[in-house]
Amino acid sequence: MNPKIIGYILIALTVGGLVMLGLQWWIAGGIITVLGGVLLFFWWRLYQILRISEALSKEDFEGAKEMMAKIKNPEKLNDYSRTYYNFFRGVIDIRENRFKEAEQAFKTALEINRFRAADEKATSHLMLGQLLLRKRNRMGATRHLQEAKSLTTNKQIHEQIRTLAKQARIKV
Protein backbone atom coordinates (compact mmCIF):
# COMPACT_ATOMS: atom_id res chain seq x y z
CA MET A 1 0.00 0.00 0.00
CA ASN A 2 1.23 3.49 -0.78
CA PRO A 3 2.78 5.16 2.31
CA LYS A 4 0.83 8.37 1.63
CA ILE A 5 -2.45 6.45 1.76
CA ILE A 6 -1.43 4.95 5.09
CA GLY A 7 -0.67 8.47 6.34
CA TYR A 8 -4.09 9.72 5.26
CA ILE A 9 -5.78 6.77 6.97
CA LEU A 10 -3.92 7.49 10.20
CA ILE A 11 -4.83 11.18 10.01
CA ALA A 12 -8.48 10.21 9.45
CA LEU A 13 -8.32 7.85 12.45
CA THR A 14 -6.91 10.59 14.67
CA VAL A 15 -9.47 13.15 13.47
CA GLY A 16 -12.24 10.58 13.99
CA GLY A 17 -11.09 10.16 17.57
CA LEU A 18 -11.12 13.91 18.07
CA VAL A 19 -14.66 14.08 16.67
CA MET A 20 -15.71 11.35 19.09
CA LEU A 21 -14.23 13.39 21.93
CA GLY A 22 -16.19 16.41 20.66
CA LEU A 23 -19.34 14.31 20.82
CA GLN A 24 -18.43 13.45 24.44
CA TRP A 25 -17.69 9.80 23.80
CA TRP A 26 -14.78 10.09 26.18
CA ILE A 27 -13.43 6.58 26.45
CA ALA A 28 -13.71 5.50 22.81
CA GLY A 29 -12.67 8.93 21.53
CA GLY A 30 -9.68 9.08 23.87
CA ILE A 31 -8.46 5.61 22.94
CA ILE A 32 -8.84 6.20 19.20
CA THR A 33 -7.20 9.63 19.37
CA VAL A 34 -4.20 8.35 21.34
CA LEU A 35 -3.86 5.27 19.14
CA GLY A 36 -4.12 7.32 15.95
CA GLY A 37 -1.63 9.91 17.24
CA VAL A 38 0.95 7.31 18.26
CA LEU A 39 0.65 5.39 14.98
CA LEU A 40 0.82 8.65 13.03
CA PHE A 41 4.03 9.63 14.85
CA PHE A 42 5.73 6.29 14.13
CA TRP A 43 4.55 6.34 10.52
CA TRP A 44 5.98 9.84 10.08
CA ARG A 45 9.37 8.79 11.48
CA LEU A 46 9.58 5.77 9.15
CA TYR A 47 8.28 7.75 6.19
CA GLN A 48 11.21 10.18 6.52
CA ILE A 49 13.67 7.31 5.97
CA LEU A 50 11.55 5.93 3.12
CA ARG A 51 11.62 9.30 1.34
CA ILE A 52 15.43 9.43 1.64
CA SER A 53 15.61 5.93 0.16
CA GLU A 54 13.38 6.94 -2.75
CA ALA A 55 15.49 10.04 -3.44
CA LEU A 56 18.70 8.00 -3.47
CA SER A 57 17.17 5.39 -5.78
CA LYS A 58 16.39 8.23 -8.19
CA GLU A 59 19.98 9.51 -7.70
CA ASP A 60 18.65 12.77 -6.25
CA PHE A 61 21.54 13.20 -3.82
CA GLU A 62 20.75 16.84 -3.06
CA GLY A 63 17.14 16.00 -2.26
CA ALA A 64 18.22 13.12 -0.03
CA LYS A 65 20.72 15.37 1.73
CA GLU A 66 18.01 17.98 2.37
CA MET A 67 15.65 15.33 3.73
CA MET A 68 18.38 14.00 6.02
CA ALA A 69 19.01 17.53 7.31
CA LYS A 70 15.35 17.69 8.39
CA ILE A 71 15.96 14.84 10.85
CA LYS A 72 17.18 16.88 13.80
CA ASN A 73 17.97 14.10 16.28
CA PRO A 74 18.94 10.93 14.40
CA GLU A 75 20.13 9.33 17.65
CA LYS A 76 16.50 9.34 18.81
CA LEU A 77 15.33 7.23 15.85
CA ASN A 78 14.52 3.60 16.49
CA ASP A 79 17.25 1.06 15.66
CA TYR A 80 15.77 0.19 12.27
CA SER A 81 15.61 3.82 11.16
CA ARG A 82 19.03 4.67 12.65
CA THR A 83 20.59 1.80 10.71
CA TYR A 84 19.25 3.09 7.41
CA TYR A 85 19.92 6.73 8.34
CA ASN A 86 23.60 5.90 8.83
CA PHE A 87 23.71 3.73 5.72
CA PHE A 88 22.27 6.55 3.61
CA ARG A 89 24.58 9.06 5.32
CA GLY A 90 27.53 6.89 4.25
CA VAL A 91 26.31 6.75 0.66
CA ILE A 92 25.95 10.54 0.52
CA ASP A 93 29.33 11.08 2.20
CA ILE A 94 31.05 8.86 -0.37
CA ARG A 95 29.36 10.81 -3.13
CA GLU A 96 30.76 14.04 -1.63
CA ASN A 97 34.27 12.55 -1.12
CA ARG A 98 34.03 12.68 2.67
CA PHE A 99 35.53 9.26 3.19
CA LYS A 100 36.26 9.48 6.92
CA GLU A 101 32.64 10.42 7.67
CA ALA A 102 31.39 7.71 5.31
CA GLU A 103 33.51 5.08 7.05
CA GLN A 104 32.11 6.10 10.43
CA ALA A 105 28.54 6.08 9.10
CA PHE A 106 28.88 2.54 7.69
CA LYS A 107 30.51 1.32 10.91
CA THR A 108 27.63 2.75 12.91
CA ALA A 109 25.07 1.15 10.59
CA LEU A 110 26.80 -2.22 10.99
CA GLU A 111 27.01 -1.81 14.77
CA ILE A 112 23.26 -1.16 15.03
CA ASN A 113 22.69 -3.98 12.51
CA ARG A 114 18.94 -3.76 11.90
CA PHE A 115 19.05 -4.30 8.15
CA ARG A 116 15.98 -5.87 6.61
CA ALA A 117 17.93 -7.85 4.00
CA ALA A 118 21.29 -9.60 3.96
CA ASP A 119 22.14 -7.85 0.68
CA GLU A 120 21.89 -4.46 2.36
CA LYS A 121 24.22 -5.57 5.15
CA ALA A 122 26.57 -7.05 2.55
CA THR A 123 26.55 -3.74 0.69
CA SER A 124 27.57 -1.95 3.90
CA HIS A 125 30.46 -4.39 4.36
CA LEU A 126 31.44 -3.94 0.72
CA MET A 127 31.44 -0.14 1.00
CA LEU A 128 33.40 -0.27 4.25
CA GLY A 129 35.90 -2.67 2.68
CA GLN A 130 36.34 -0.29 -0.23
CA LEU A 131 36.93 2.63 2.14
CA LEU A 132 39.48 0.63 4.10
CA LEU A 133 41.31 -0.23 0.88
CA ARG A 134 41.57 3.50 0.19
CA LYS A 135 43.36 3.80 3.53
CA ARG A 136 45.57 0.82 2.61
CA ASN A 137 44.13 -1.29 5.43
CA ARG A 138 44.23 -4.62 3.60
CA MET A 139 43.45 -6.80 6.62
CA GLY A 140 40.35 -4.83 7.58
CA ALA A 141 39.21 -4.66 3.96
CA THR A 142 39.71 -8.41 3.53
CA ARG A 143 37.62 -9.09 6.64
CA HIS A 144 34.75 -6.90 5.43
CA LEU A 145 34.85 -8.26 1.88
CA GLN A 146 34.78 -11.84 3.20
CA GLU A 147 31.83 -10.95 5.41
CA ALA A 148 30.01 -9.38 2.45
CA LYS A 149 30.71 -12.44 0.32
CA SER A 150 29.35 -14.79 2.99
CA LEU A 151 26.16 -12.75 3.45
CA THR A 152 24.89 -12.47 -0.09
CA THR A 153 24.00 -14.55 -3.11
CA ASN A 154 23.54 -11.44 -5.26
CA LYS A 155 25.68 -11.83 -8.38
CA GLN A 156 26.26 -8.09 -8.75
CA ILE A 157 27.65 -7.78 -5.22
CA HIS A 158 29.83 -10.87 -5.74
CA GLU A 159 31.19 -9.33 -8.93
CA GLN A 160 32.02 -6.09 -7.12
CA ILE A 161 33.78 -8.06 -4.38
CA ARG A 162 35.83 -9.99 -6.96
CA THR A 163 36.75 -6.77 -8.78
CA LEU A 164 37.86 -5.05 -5.57
CA ALA A 165 39.83 -8.09 -4.42
CA LYS A 166 41.53 -8.37 -7.80
CA GLN A 167 42.46 -4.67 -7.87
CA ALA A 168 43.83 -4.81 -4.32
CA ARG A 169 45.47 -8.18 -4.92
CA ILE A 170 43.86 -9.75 -1.90
CA LYS A 171 42.32 -13.17 -1.57
CA VAL A 172 38.68 -13.26 -0.53
pLDDT of residue 46: 83
- DSSP symbol at 51: H
Residue 78 backbone zone (phi > 0: left; psi -120 to 50: alpha; other: beta): beta
pLDDT of residue 12: 95
74-98 pLDDT, tens digit each: 988 889 899 999 999 999 999 999 9
Q: Which residues of the chain have pLDDT under 50?
A: none
- Determine contact, residues 125/164, Cβ cutoff 8 Å: no
26-46 pLDDT, tens digit each: 999 999 999 999 999 888 888
pTM assigned to the model: 0.82
User: Is residue 119 classed exposed, middle or buried when 0-12, 13-18 and 19+ CB atoms within 10 A define those classes?
Assistant: middle
Sketch the domain layout of the chain as residue ranges.
1-59, 73-172
pLDDT of residue 4: 84
Whole-number Å distance between alpha carbons of 27 and 112? 39
Q: What is the second-level CATH architecture of the domain 73-172?
A: Alpha Horseshoe (1.25)
pLDDT of residue 153: 85
